[in-house]
Amino acid sequence: MGKNVYSSEVKWAVVKDKLSGELTTKEIMEKHGVKNKSQIETWMRWYRANEIYRFDQPIGKQYTFGHGPELSSEADKKERQMSHLKMENEILKKYMEIERRLRKK
């Protein structure tokens, strides 16, 4: 039994679903094919610690902050950062909408 490899897209989708609060951890695991809840907890810990560069690192590689794969171009790094900021913006909008609905009740 080998290690499971999850793409960066799966990791971000899991974080997004977890932050939205609409699905339980078990439902997220089933939806994205994650085998262990501790993996989700690890990704959430990386997200909260702003260690987003870890989402792109391969198994066995541990980059220090600001150091990604040597093959990444500056444009790739900026694209990943832009993607992260867009996702964060979507999450904040969703959170604000939920908060507005709760205040109306």
Does the pTM surpass 0.85? The reply is: no
Residue 30 pLDDT: 92
- C-alpha 9/C-alpha 32 separation (Å) is 10
**Cα Rg of the chain, angstroms:** 15
For helices 8-20 and 37-48, the axis angle rounded to 10 degrees is 80
Give pLDDT, residue 26.
Answer: 92
pLDDT by 10s per residue, the chain, length 105: 556 788 888 898 999 898 888 889 999 999 999 998 899 999 999 888 888 778 877 766 665 555 555 556 777 778 878 888 888 888 888 888 888 888 887
